[in-house]
Chains A and B, each alone.
Chain A
Amino acid sequence: MKEQLPSFDQRVLDSLRAGSPPPPEARARVRARLEAAIPAMRGRGSRSGGAGPGGLSSAARALAVGAFVAGGLTGAAAQALWATPPAPRVVYVDRVAPSLSTETAVRAPAEQAEPPARAVATAARAALLAAPTARPRGRPDPEARPSQLSAERILLDDARAALVQGEPERSLDRLERHRREFPGGVLSEERDAMQIEALARAGRFEQARARADEFLRRAPSSLFRSTVDAAMAAAPPSPPIPAEVHGPLR
């Protein structure tokens, strides 16, 4: 079954990622305050290749910043005197936090050492998958460009939920699907580590061991090394395989 990608997720993430940058004068003001407080912030030339006015001496730079700030203040004063200040555009919004507590479907009792049970994962997932109906009118169809990270995340969340629920084979199925669809995915290292864990929990220790060896050769300093080590620590020592036993290990 082809899974529907969470277009809600994509649109929301696009909005989040499109945060508007600070106004240049804010950057200059914060920089001036830091230069006043921290000697190390005062430049000695053009060593830095950043956005600052490289190439100026520190005195000239301070002067430039000072002039900039003074100019801004003068302009602001003139504006305050001669112009009617526009009303600040304040959008009051519903305080959503309290009402969230009533929607217990997506709330666990507390963050637990082990991820919560199927109900929470299912509810969170259902909320994401159901949300496309809430697309504001006139928006471009986000399904045309689904976020790879979001799609990967959904698969791995499912795999992890299955693992927690004691269904390692279902977890392996989801992980295999991730491998097929995102062979070089952003979360491929996490997938591989989880796969080793799932194989071990399924009792497929030889496969888990082989995958673990390959994983640790490929990424010895991986952030997921502890996951792999823990999975293999729980596995029994490698048994000798009798020569008369045939057939592939599943």
Chain B
Amino acid sequence: MSPRPSPPEPDLRAIFDEHFDYVWITLRRLGVREADLEDLAHEVFLKVHARLADYDAARPMRPWLFGFAYRVAADHRRLARHRVEVLGAPAEALDPVMSADQRIEADQDRELVEAALEGIRMDRRAVLLLHEVDEVPVPAIARELGIPVNTAYSRLRLARGDLAAAYKRLCKARGVL
């Protein structure tokens, strides 16, 4: 029996295989707790599946996926009043060539940054992550998030200031100056 021709719309399995890690890490950066990551990643891909026909193949996939992750994470935060806590990732998930001291430092550094991120409003954090981490141009961010370009610039600037201030404060509080 000859295989069917590929469907015109993107293949969900291929998207999952290629971008699951990205969705997972993005959800974590958006403040989702470790214990909730599986459920929310599942929810993201369910929503992606429902909207596959809307995907414009001329646009990059990751900003599109980020939009789903952002909305799922934002809804989750609205529905649940979470304690502000950061669950440490398992040590074995870190670079295996790092020494124990380096692992501890890298772990502490990431916790500090994640904690600092936690203090940034979700709408600003989304712009910050998309631009500074995923290197998406600001106009493309504005398009994906459905906001004016100037608002995206404004949020980026404010988020960077927020992050700098929060990080500095946390460093002081923990005596890691």
Which residues of A come within 8 Å of B, CB atoms? 8-9, 11-13, 15-23, 26-27, 29-31, 33-34, 37-38, 40-41, 43-45, 47-52, 88-97, 99-100, 103, 105-108, 111-116, 120-121, 123-124, 127-128, 130-131, 133-134, 136-139, 149-150, 153, 157, 160, 186-187, 189-190, 223-224, 226-227
Which residues of B come within 8 Å of A, CB atoms? 3, 6, 11-14, 16-18, 20-21, 24-25, 28-29, 37-38, 41-42, 45-46, 49, 83-90, 93-94, 101, 105-106, 108-113, 115-121, 129, 131-133, 135, 137-140, 143, 148-151, 153-155, 157-158, 160-173, 176-177
Chain B residues positioned under 8 Å from A153 (CB to CB)? 131-132
Supposing A21-B25, A96-B115, A103-B165 touch, asked if A134 and B177 sit within 8 A by C-beta, the answer is yes
Kindly state the separation between the CA atoms of A112 and B17 in the bound complex, as whole angstroms: 39
Main secondary structure of the interface of B (DSSP, over half): helix
A211 CB to nearest chain B CB (Å): 18
Q: Once the chains bind, are A136 and B105 in contact (CB under 8 Å)?
A: yes
Chain A residues positioned under 8 Å from B12 (CB to CB)? 34, 38, 40-41
Q: Once the chains bind, are A97 and B150 in contact (CB under 8 Å)?
A: no
A170 CB to nearest chain B CB (Å): 18
Q: Which residue of A lies closest to B142 (CB)?
A: A223
Supposing A99-B169, A139-B105 touch, asked if A47 and B17 sit within 8 A by C-beta, the answer is no
Q: Once the chains bind, are B17 and A38 in contact (CB under 8 Å)?
A: no
Chain A residues positioned under 8 Å from B148 (CB to CB)? 113
Q: Once the chains bind, are B151 and A134 in contact (CB under 8 Å)?
A: no
Q: Once the chains bind, are B115 and A134 in contact (CB under 8 Å)?
A: no
B161 CB to nearest chain A CB (Å): 3
Cβ 8 A contact of B155, one of A9, A111, A160:
A111
Going nearest first, the 7 A-B pairs with the smallest beta carbon separation are A50-B17, A106-B161, A96-B119, A124-B161, A19-B25, A20-B93, A127-B164
Chain A residues positioned under 8 Å from B135 (CB to CB)? 149, 186
